[in-house]
A and B are shown apart, each in its own frame.
Chain A
Amino acid sequence: KNEVEQSPQNLTAQEGEFITINCSYSVGISALHWLQQHPGGGIVSLFMLSSGKKKHGRLIATINIQEKHSSLHITASHPRDSAVYICAALQGAQKLVFGQGTRLTINP
């Protein structure tokens, strides 16, 4: 079992739908990252959070430390949101443990 598990692995939805991607981890963490990787490969850091909830535009990330679970939500999804979304658990000061990623496809 991976230390960081994401679900679903693949998600296809229609434009406008509300999207949820889940991340569960089994290790102690100091923070959790949500990353977005586009088909070209470049990675963008969306959020780093250690408690509660953060919002940026149509993206919302939440984390429940007690349950060792985080979610990434996308409201009013758009085809340009199509990408691979990766959660990464920060262990200690530096080490990131990555989930396998969720491939999101938003159809127009």
Chain B
Amino acid sequence: GAVVSQHPSWVICKSGTSVKIECRSLDFQATTMFWYRQFPKQSLMLMATSNEGSKATYEQGVEKDKFLINHASLTLSTLTVTSAHPEDSSFYICSARGTPRGTDTQYFGPGTRLTVL
């Protein structure tokens, strides 16, 4: 079936450093990719939506200069958390929307757990 991968699966970094998370659609072209954040025991919260080749659309309250999103190709989107702080520690999940077998649906990545010390 359609697969969305994320790398890394977990990362620990020091406060003030930047972290890049990759999201790839492995067997289909993702016209749209979504980035979500999930805090413990809470549901997913949409951070931004990106279409290939265009700027991401950020949800209200999400700082675009802090969470840099690049959707350079139909199979790859990256989220960079710049100058990370402990409050950025969270579970980041990407999702890709495409039509791998003629069915337009949304597939979720396995998530990346970020811990900022």
Contact = CB atoms under 8 A, between A and B. Distances in A.
B54 interface: no
Interface residues on A, range: 10 to 19
A40 B45 CA distance: 18
Interface residues of B, number: 20
A96 B46 contact: yes
- Overall SS of chain B's interface: strand
Q: Which has the most chain A C-beta neighbours within 10 Å: B38, B42, B44, B113? A: B44
Interface of A: 33, 35, 40-45, 48, 86, 88, 90, 94-96, 98-101
Given A41-B38, A99-B43, A101-B43, 13 more contacts: A35-B108, A41-B91, A41-B93, A41-B110, A42-B108, A43-B93, A43-B109, A43-B110, A45-B106, A45-B107, A48-B105, A48-B106, A96-B34
